[in-house]
């Protein structure tokens, strides 16, 4: 029987670092968000890298679960993860819509919600909410979690295919990737929005330290905590980044002075939230 390996802190550190990059890149107007992310210097952006690493980790979990408890248990575990992520997506959609509307009113930016794709939700919420539930209504900032949900489902099929036909199971996703690059295939969204369709990205794995590590310094511990609590960090980071982007837009002349306090402070805040979640997990009394 396969044994559960120890959690690889290297992946947690890398995923935590990518979460901070995602936060910075969403803070539109930030110089850090333009030049301090991997998309400015490499072939793939932080979202694609995070998706790749998450698929790598989730695939390992599914294979282990399947070998230890059987295919049904593995699928049940996956469906619970998908349901949790889907529920979180709907909560974020509603909360972010409220933030955008409040920002439009506070800064007196008429048309802000419409420009970001939220007008359908305001005019016909009885149609927009079901469309968001089936992942086809994606205003700005709302495109990442649906991609994760769909990729989680596709990953299970890919693992099952590799068990049956080996590496040949990789041909369909590779062919789809080639078609997207060659012909620009794009799925149409609902409500005047577009479905964010990101192909698999490449990760330079040689940059990962060659041996397992136990971080001791606070920055490394906080970064690893952000990687282990990536869903909460990502969702909260969306709100932080839009707030920062709104301030950059409201005070364009102060961007050089606001950039580091807002983006750097937001990154520290996200890591602090992740560490607080770690403490609650270790001490059940704190979670009450």
Q: In this predicted model, what pLDDT tens digit does every residue of 110-138 receive, in sequence order?
A: 999 999 999 999 999 999 999 999 999 99
Query: Is residue 123 domain-shared with residue 258, that is, in the same domain?
Result: no
Closest CA to 76 of 86, 62, 64: 62
Query: Is residue 73 domain-shared with residue 167, that is, in the same domain?
Result: yes
Total tally of structural domains belonging to the chain: 2
Query: Is residue 39 domain-shared with residue 50, that is, in the same domain?
Result: no
Query: Is residue 186 domain-shared with residue 49, that is, in the same domain?
Result: yes
Q: pTM of whole model > 0.75?
A: yes
Query: Is residue 235 domain-shared with residue 145, that is, in the same domain?
Result: no
Residues 20-29: tens digit of each pLDDT: 888 988 888 8
Within 8 A by CB and 6+ apart from 67, the residues are 1, 2
Query: Is residue 50 domain-shared with residue 113, that is, in the same domain?
Result: yes
Can you give the pLDDT at residue 267? 93
Residue that terminates a domain, selected from 200, 222, 252: 200
Query: Is residue 6 domain-shared with residue 55, that is, in the same domain?
Result: no
- Structure tokens belonging to residue 3: 């044994």
Tell me the residue range of the domain where 2 lies: 1-43+202-283
Is the model's pLDDT at 212 over the cut of 50?
no
Angle at 44 between CA 210 and CA 78, to 5 degrees: 75
Query: Is residue 34 domain-shared with residue 76, that is, in the same domain?
Result: no
45 in Cβ contact with 26 (< 8 Å): no
Instruction: Using CB atoms within 10 Å of the CB of residue 167, give its burial: 0 to 12 exposed, 13 to 18 middle, 19+ buried.
Output: exposed
Q: Which of 65 and 258 is assigned the larger pLDDT?
A: 258
Query: Is residue 176 domain-shared with residue 224, that is, in the same domain?
Result: no
Torsional sign, CA 47, 63, 206, 272 = positive
H or E segment and range at residue 285: none
Residue that terminates a domain, selected from 200, 220, 236: 200
Is the model's pLDDT at 217 over the cut of 70?
yes
């Amino acid at each position: 029987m396969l044994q559960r390996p120890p959690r690889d802190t290297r992946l947690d550190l890398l995923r935590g670092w990518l979460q901070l990059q995602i936060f910075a890149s969403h803070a539109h107007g930030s110089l850090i968000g333009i030049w301090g992310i991997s998309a400015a210097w490499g072939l793939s952006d932080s979202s694609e890298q995070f998706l790749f690493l998450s698929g790598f980790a989730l695939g390992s979990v599914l294979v282990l679960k399947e070998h230890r408890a059987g295919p049904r248990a593995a699928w049940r575990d996956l469906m619970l993860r998908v349901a949790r992520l889907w529920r979180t997506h709907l909560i974020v959609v509603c909360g972010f819509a409220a933030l955008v509307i409040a920002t439009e009113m506070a800064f007196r930016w008429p048309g802000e919600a419409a420009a970001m794709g939220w007008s359908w939700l305001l005019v016909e919420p009885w149609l927009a909410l079901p469309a968001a539930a089936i992942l086809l209504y994606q205003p700005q900032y709302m495109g990442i979690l649906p991609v994760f949900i769909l990729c989680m489902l596709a990953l299970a099929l890919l693992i099952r295919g590799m068990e049956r036909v080996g590496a040949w199971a990789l041909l369909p996703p590779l062919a789809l990737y080639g078609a997207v690059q060659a012909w620009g295939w794009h799925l149409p969204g609902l409500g005047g929005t577009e479905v964010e369709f990101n192909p698999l990205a490449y990760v330079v794995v040689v940059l990962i330290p060659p041996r397992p590590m136990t971080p001791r310094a606070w920055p490394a511990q906080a970064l690893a905590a952000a990687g282990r609590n990536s869903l909460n960090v990502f969702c909260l980071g969306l709100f932080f980044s839009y707030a920062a982007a709104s301030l950059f837009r409201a005070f364009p002349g102060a961007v050089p002075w606001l950039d580091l306090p807002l983006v750097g402070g937001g990154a520290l805040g996200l890591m602090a939230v992740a560490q607080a979640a770690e403490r609650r997990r270790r001490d059940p009394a704190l979670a009450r």
